[in-house]
Structures are given as C-alpha cells and as structure tokens.
Amino acid sequence: MTDELTFSAPTGNPGAPTDTATAPTDTSGAPTDTAAAPSERLNLSGLFPVPTSQLALIVVDVQNDFADPAGSLFVSGAPEILPQVNLLVDAARLDNMLVVYTQDWHPAHTPHFAPDGGIWPVHCVAYTAGAALHPDLRPGPDILIRKGSRGEDGYSAFSLRDPVSGVTSSTPLDQILRDRGVAGLIVCGLATDYCVRATAIDAAARGYLTVLDLMAVAAVNLQPGDGDRAIAEMAAAGVRMADQHKLQPVSAERPS
C-alpha cells in the first residue's frame, strides 16, 4: 500500500454551490456555503488510494452534552458542523462504507469528572439525555462504540485509560475494522482537541490511512488555540487534513 495520499483536485467549477435540482450556471467560484443543502453529495473516493468499500467513517461523540447549547459541556461551533457530518454519513452509506459512531458513556461518578477530582463538568452519563446522540445526527450507525463506561478516560475510540492507575486497554473497534478489511478512515465530530484528536492519532498509529475533515470538527479550546494545536499534532502523527476544497461536494452520482 502506498504511503502517498493524493487529494485529487476537483475539476471544473470549484467551490460553487451544487444542487442537483437547480444547478447554477454561474461559475463565479463563490465559496461553498458551510450550511450544505441536503441534495449535496460528497465525493469521498478521491481521498484515498483504496476502494471506498475499504473505508470507514468515524463520527466521534456527536452527543447532546457536547452538541446542544444546553449541554453540560457544549462545544462552541458544534451545531455548525452537523450538516457536514450528515453529508459525510450520507456519502459513506452510498459508497458502502462502514459507519461508526462513538459515545462518551460515563458512570455518574468517575475521576474523569470535576466533583470526583477530574477536570470536566459531569457530562454524557450513561442513559441520560445528555449522553444521547444529537437528534439532528443521521440515525442508525453500523457500529456504536461506547467508551468510558467503567470510569476510564474514554477519549479515543480505540483505547481507554484508567485515570487513577494509568492502565490502558482497547475498545473493540480496531478488531472490528480489521475483520472487515478496513484500511482507511475519515474522522469527524467532537471535540477536535480531545476525542477527535485521540481517535485520529490512535488510528494513524494503528496503520490506518486517516483523514480528518476540517469542516466537520469543532474544538473545546479550554486554552485559546487548543484546536489548532491538536490539528498540528494530528498532522505530525500522519493524519491527513481535508478541507472544503479537497472534500468537494459533487452534484451527480459517480460512475461506479
């Protein structure tokens, strides 16, 4: 497998809004609207040198406590990424990619939480409304990974860490992906500087060709610049970045 990922530049009319029903004739190159119309269709095939059947989409922690302004650990910018996350899910389904969602899934008391000595407000307690997937997220992933249920710091979709002992363990995700022959991953969701970062770096370390969609992530930014620093760390770990010019909406079905 080549280590070289080429982001093929889309041909013609770059950046123009695409709408299958009323395709604009104006090719002025206006920036693509971030609030994508439902009829838009992302072309994921150009991102990887492997067939889309060997790809998986990982949607990290798009849960009410992070994505709803009333959530206990609301991530500013989360509502704005939801349309792009859903476009990714739609495209992944059309391309027969495995669709994986993750959920932070904590007990009511864990050293992860500030009242128990950790750094975070209580969030995503198992089976509460805050832990539920955001209602605007497309329902029905192929695989659902819940992390942190035994009190671990569940930042990564691949690995868990006991916050007291420091002992690490694995989630089932890596084995699931290997069993299905997955070679490449697209990662999106919340939050850039924590669970997305940990998941993408773990994925690259496990040998997956890993692409982060910068249009479909948002950061907590406890410290200003945390999100940008996390992106730099992911890039240094081998994660490739895709932005709107490289993960280009296309208006028609690809020839198969």
Reported for 214-217, long-range contacts at CB under 8 A and 24+ positions apart, including other chains, are 214/241, 214/242, 214/243, 215/34, 215/81, 215/84, 215/242, 215/243, 215/244, 215/247, 216/81, 216/84, 216/85, 216/88, 216/188, 216/189, 217/81, 217/187, 217/188, 217/189, 217/190, 217/191, 217/192
195 a catalytic residue: yes
188 a catalytic residue: no
Site string for Zn ion, 196-225 (x = CB under 5 A): ------------------------------
Is residue 61 within the footprint of Zn ion (CB under 5 A)?
no
147 a catalytic residue: yes
Name residue, tokens 């070679």.
183
| From 68, 188, 193, 195, active-site residue | 195
Is residue 193 within the footprint of Zn ion (CB under 5 A)?
no
Minimum CB separation from Zn ion for residue 112, in Å? 5
Which DSSP helix (H) or strand (E) runs through 161?
strand 159-161
Which among 6-14, 86-94, 98-106, 139-147 is the span making contact with Zn ion, rule CB under 5 A? Answer: 98-106
Question: What is the CA 201 to chain-centroid distance, rounded?
Answer: 12
Minimum CB separation from Zn ion for residue 60, in Å? 11
| From 147, 153, 188, 202, active-site residue | 147
Q: For Zn ion, which is the closer residue by CB, 106 or 138?
A: 106
Is residue 104 within the footprint of Zn ion (CB under 5 A)?
yes
Sites of contact with Zn ion (CB under 5 A) = 104
